[in-house]
Structure 1
Amino acid sequence: MQGSTQTEQLSPLLTPEQKAWVNSTILPTQVFLKGATEFDDQWLNLKGDWRFRFSGANRSIPFVNGKHFNSLKPEILKLVKLVSVEYIKENSASVVDDAARYIAITFSQVDAITRESLLSKLRSIVANPERNHSDISQFYFTLFCLRVLDRKDFFESSDEKADLEELLLEVPRPRNGNWGVYQNLDNVIPSEVCHMIESGIQRWASKLTPQLKTKEEKIAHLHTIKEMINLDKLSDCVITGIVYYVGMRPVQLGKTACGDIVVDTQNENGNRFSILVPYAKKSKLTIDRIRVAIPDELGKLILLYKRLKGLSDEDSLLPKKSTSIKPVNDAIKRMLLLFSPDEIKKAVAEEDYELPSYTASLFRHNVGHSMAMNGASATEIAYILGQSSLVVAERYVAATPDIADIREQALGRNPVFKNMLILMMTGDVVHSSEWKGRKVACTIGERLHCHMGGCSYEESACPFSQGRACYGCLYFRPFSDGHHEAVLSSFNDEIDSIRNVADDTNTKNHPLLVELTRCKQNVMRVIARIQIIEEK
């Protein structure tokens, strides 16, 4: 018995640095449960055993005397709780009890909590020919835990090591019908976060860079902007936009000059921009920079930042201090908070909620996954991401699931979608008789829809596609008596039509399917919100 204790002390699960990290990290007293109905608990108390009601069932995590938790040391138990809190922030709380249990099981089965040991555990689960559903669940909860700890810098510095997502591309994903496409797609950035970034950059561009015809108007607007804009926030917006759309590494941002932002074409209808992306690593075979197109709104914001800072084409686009890993990740976090709905900002300000952390590395790999999902070749992926070889790009292609899984995602048939109220991306629900502002109207599925809601956007011109984009817009005020079911039906008709065209033309990845499905899901969320309000 004494020898066993000595062995345990000589080979602890946590290093002294990791133990200090766990002890210094503050566990909140309660956490907000997103998507909770009036019959569920809105908050989860984190003292003792976690007990709460969610999605029509009573749930509990027996941290005090539970089978899988009572043998864990206090630091390991707290680490399980910290990861479980992150799981609640990013996912539905309906399975957090499973997440905590399987993470505890994994911690009890490894010799040390390192990237290498957790990756080894994932490989051993995949290699087991007799694995069952429980093993597969453990795989994906361990995968989530590994990603969370890595982006919170829990592990030792990995500057000289391969990026975690590149290592994960080498780990096969076990298939199981109960998990459907969610395990196989392996997208590292939720679609709601992507939509929030796209909408936020579009709104900033429409406010800060409006269409002005005369030189006098442009000069006057520039003077007005100088007095009201915070250059640090504009810098954060530029960093987030470039990382999101192009997938640049922080080291590439540091190598980007103002002259690398190119206006390809310019006319009264808009501009076309591109950015010259430097290679992240040296190679004897790559000399020229990579030319990648960027959206018009991002290009305008970059040019505005350049003019306000008084930068020339030879100057570095961003200050050196803002292009290392931590400053870039901090800029992304600040920008995601600015882009978030008011409910989220209020919860963060009151310390009732903490935004999930998404790093530049995750956005880079999201670009690679997205390209592979849309049928891009390894050569194309390597070109866009600025990779000097095809090794990593080929892994993205190899990790792409079967076309049946892609179709299932595009059609959005899985009922889990219906219960995902992750971000309330629209404004307050109002009755049509109480609304005095502008009303929304559009044509969807060859039918005119005009009793949808109102628009509170302060500018006269909408920067989005009116009606279609409203259900995912912060300025949209859905009518509680609106004809939202009819809008949903029209989106279903359009999806069916596009699907038939894709089948007839043998188009594997039709670009409209994903966008139409996202619009459809936003309508479903609004309908769910109205139903909850009516029930209350």
Structure 2
Amino acid sequence: MKYSDRHEVIETKLTDEQIQFINQVSLPSIMEIIVTSEFDTRYVRTDADRWEFIRLGTIEVNLFNLDQYSNKLLKLLVIKYCNGHMAPLNTRRFNGIKKILREIERYAFSYFYKKLEQLAKKNNARDYFELKSITKYLIRVRFPEFSLDDEEKLEQLAIPDVNDPFLRYQDVDNTLPSHMKNLIVRKMAEYSTKEGLESLSDADVKNMSILGLSYSVGCRSAQYSMLQGKSVRLLTKNHKTNLMRFEVSVPLAKQVEIKVTNPKIALSQEVGLIIQEYINRFGIGDTDPLFVFDSKGKIDLSIELHKRLNDALLFIQPDEVKDKIKTGKMDRPIYTLYDFRHNIGHTMAMNNASAQEIAFVLGHTSLVAARHYIMSTPELALLKNQSLGQNPIWKDMIGLLMTGYKTEEATWRSKTVSGMLNGKFIHRIGGCERRQVKCHLAKVRSCYGCFYFRPFDNVSKHEQVLDIITEEFVDLVKISNDAGANQNPLITTATETKNEIEMVISRLKGGLR
């Protein structure tokens, strides 16, 4: 099939099934761009074939001049890339991707995989990582000729000899962006309360259970099929503090000749409570399958899990995001089970976990994959802090995603936020739009990273909070070093809290709303 029209004359490489898929795709009317300056372009209209925008003082142009179907597919991929990387493709990178799409023989995973192998051998790192991201998006949207299980094969690819370590960091971290991970954690905590569980429908509690297990353990679809009601259980409960400890017995990812006991992994209280609610509602017995979707076995488990996982990801989005998705102003975020699986492997590697520990959590029968995660993440934790944690532009960008609009204390009429920090009473630092009557988080300390928080514009109060948190952070690092616990996970938590407060202060001082 050939197309001329106003586009480049080109023989389409798309199958009839792929063309049908593209015809059914509904692109958002605009692609929103997270800006770093008031002079940057905030969005582009997706119905045009020339996307021109200003970013960091540079005019970028994305020209769509392939055939009409390839153009629409390329637009979808560019939008997915922009949302996932929190930045659009610049002209050079866009042209690089378009050139690859022109040269590739067919739009099929095997051909993309072959091209990635060629780029790795040539040490063409930039094109390699861009194409790898695009390939992941094709898998996530379930584009014909791209299977959900293909994503695992991408991790077996050789990686170019990277001179710029940021490229490798980008490849790892954007499997599951930081803002998405923060959103999942906070929503799990919110819906694990009594009031939160009561607000969940049967479908939502099932979907949230799948999301919780995926985020905590990274099960693949075959492992989900082996889970039983007794796989998740409450180990102990402190009746004075009401704290609980759950564990999940993780089926091995692949069969082994010698029968061994399944690894048992601790689950957070929040995830455990949601799964417990799901088990109780559906009356699942100890030996019953934990997740049943079709009694006749006519449903592809991996596809059904993919659908429910992304239904949960849509469910936890803020209302304004849901409205934009519904009205076609924003693209819906899509991820796979393998994204969560790789996130766990890379996160553990970045925190100096051993190959044995990674294999244990992921249910591997060998150390091959675990060693891959360790080898692909050298010094990434330090790089992440240097390149992003101390970058003021990045802080503003993340700040726009993490907290709501600032507000005037005099005009606020809803709930306010006050609390104790290190023996000092912090009074009215902002407003709270949480729907639930009772908040399960630590007042003040946890508010800066919550999207229900509306900071008041009195900067001095926020600076007082920052001084206290900074003092605590310094003491925590000193105590951890003295005790030989340099990898204390509390240091990471304290760092994130400190950064969240700094982001809010930066926004208030910069006049961002």
Scaled by the length of structure 2, the TM-score of the pair is 0.85
Equivalent AA in structure 2 for residue 91 of structure 1: H
8 Å CA contact 1:279–1:289 kept in 2: the answer is yes
Q: Which moved more, 1:149-158 or 1:370-379?
A: 149-158
- 2:440 matches 1:454: no
Q: 1:400 to 1:421 in 2, by over 3 A?
A: closer
- What amino acid does structure 2 have at the position aligned with 1:183? Q
Q: Paired residue for 1:14?
A: 14
Please say if 1:336 is aligned against 2:313: yes
Distance in 2 between residues matched to 1:173 and 1:490, nearest whole Å: 45
Change (3 A) 1:11 1:77: closer
What is the aligned partner in structure 2 of residue 515 from structure 1? Answer: 493
Q: 1:101 and 1:422 mapped to 2: Cα distance? A: 31
Which whole-Å CA distance do the structure 1 matches of 2:492 and 2:262 have between them?
Answer: 31
Aligned to 2:5: none
Instruction: For structure 2, list consecutive stretches of 5 or more residues without a partner in the other structure.
Output: 1-8
Provide the residue aligned with 1:238 in structure 2: 209
Matched, 1:256 2:227: yes
* Aligned counterparts of 1:14 and 1:246: Cα–Cα separation in 2: 37
Distance in 1 (CA, whole Å) between partners of 2:96 and 2:399 is 24
- State the secondary structure of the residue aligned to 2:402: coil
- SS in structure 1 of the partner of residue 166 of structure 2: coil
CA contact 1:187–1:369 (8 Å) conserved in 2: no
Match of 2:289 among 316, 320, 329: 316
Alignment of 1:352-363 (within 5 A): 352-363=329-340
Q: Does 1:441 align with 2:435?
A: no
- Structure 1 unaligned spans of 5+: 1-8, 64-69, 211-224
Residues of 2 paired with 1:410 and 1:450: CA distance?
Answer: 31
CA 1:492 to 1:137, structure 2 compared with 1: closer, same or farther past 3 Å?
A: farther
2:128 corresponds to 1:151: no
Pairing 1:121–2:108 present: no
Q: How high is the sequence identity, in percent, across the aligned residues?
A: 28
Q: Secondary structure at the match of 1:53?
A: strand
Aligned counterpart for 1:290 among listed residues 244, 260, 263: 263
Letter of the 1:273 partner, please give it. Answer: F
Offset at residue 523 of structure 1 (A): 2.7
**Secondary structure of the structure 2 residue equivalent to 1:439:** strand
Distance 1:427 1:368 in 2: 32
- SS of equivalent residue, structure 2 residue 349: helix
Number of the residue aligned with 1:471: 448
Residue of structure 2 equivalent to 1:530: 508
Distance 1:112 1:323, change over 3 A: closer
The 1-side partners of 2:78 and 2:317 are apart by 22
Give the TM-score, by structure 1 length: 0.82
Quick one: distance in 2 between partners of 1:203 and 1:339? 10
- What is the CA deviation profile of residues 347-400 of structure 1, one whole-angstrom value per residue up to 9, with x for unaligned ones? 112121122201111111111111111122222212211122222222112212
The answer to whether structure 1 residue 183 and structure 2 residue 156 are counterparts is no
Q: Which residue of 1 aligns with 2:44?
A: 44
Distance 1:83 1:34, change over 3 A: same
Amino acid at match of 1:151: R
Aligned to 1:409: 384
Report how far residue 293 of structure 1 moved. 0.8
Amino acid at match of 2:323: K
Aligned-residue offset at 1:499: 5.2
* Alpha-carbon distance between aligned partners in 1 of 2:34 and 2:103, rounded to the nearest angstrom: 32
Does structure 1 retain, via aligned residues, the 8 Å contact 2:418–2:425?
Answer: no
CA distance in 1, matches of 2:444, 2:201: 32
2:304 partner amino acid:
P
Q: Deviations over 1:403-442 (max 9, x none)?
A: xx32232461244522424863334422222335332234
Change (3 A) 1:165 1:524: farther
* Partner Cα separation in structure 2 for residue 528 and residue 95 of structure 1: 27
| Aligned ranges 1:73-92 → 2 under 5 Å | 73-92=67-86
Distance in 1 separating the partners of 2:399 and 2:21: 29
| Residues 425-436 of structure 1: pairs in structure 2 closer than 5 A | 425-436=402-413
Is 1:305 matched up with 2:306? no
Partner Cα separation in structure 1 for residue 467 and residue 253 of structure 2: 47
SS at match of 1:113: coil
Distance 1:358 1:290, change over 3 A: same
CA change 1:416–1:530 in 2 (3 A) is closer
Equivalent pair of 2:108/2:146 in contact (CA under 8 Å): no
Secondary structure of residue in 2 paired with 1:452: strand
Q: Is the Cα–Cα contact under 8 Å of residues 247 and 364 in structure 1 kept in the other structure?
A: yes
Q: 1:417 to 1:207 in 2, by over 3 A?
A: farther
- Name the CA distance, whole Å, in 2 between partners of 1:240 and 1:379: 25
User: Which of 362, 368, 373 is residue 396 of structure 1 equivalent to?
Assistant: 373
Contact 1:35 1:422 in 2 (8 A): no
Report what 1:167 is aligned to.
Answer: 154
* C-alpha distance after superposition, 1:146-200 (max 9, x if no partner): 11112222252647xx642343243225423483673364451011111111111
- Please list the CA deviations of residues 249-278 of structure 1 after superposition, one character each: whole Å capped at 9, or x if unmatched: 222222222122221112212211111122
Q: Report the equivalent of 1:110.
A: 104
Change (3 A) 1:195 1:202: same
Any residues of structure 2 matched to 1:220-239 within 5 Å, and which? 225=198, 229-239=200-210
> Counterparts of 1:157 and 1:140 in 2: how far apart (Å)?
18
Would you say 1:141 and 2:118 are equivalent positions?
Answer: no
Tell me, yes or no, if structure 1 residue 196 matches structure 2 residue 174: no
- The one-letter amino acid paired with 1:307 is N
- 1:400 and 1:38 mapped to 2: Cα distance? 35
Distance 1:75 1:137 in 2: 26
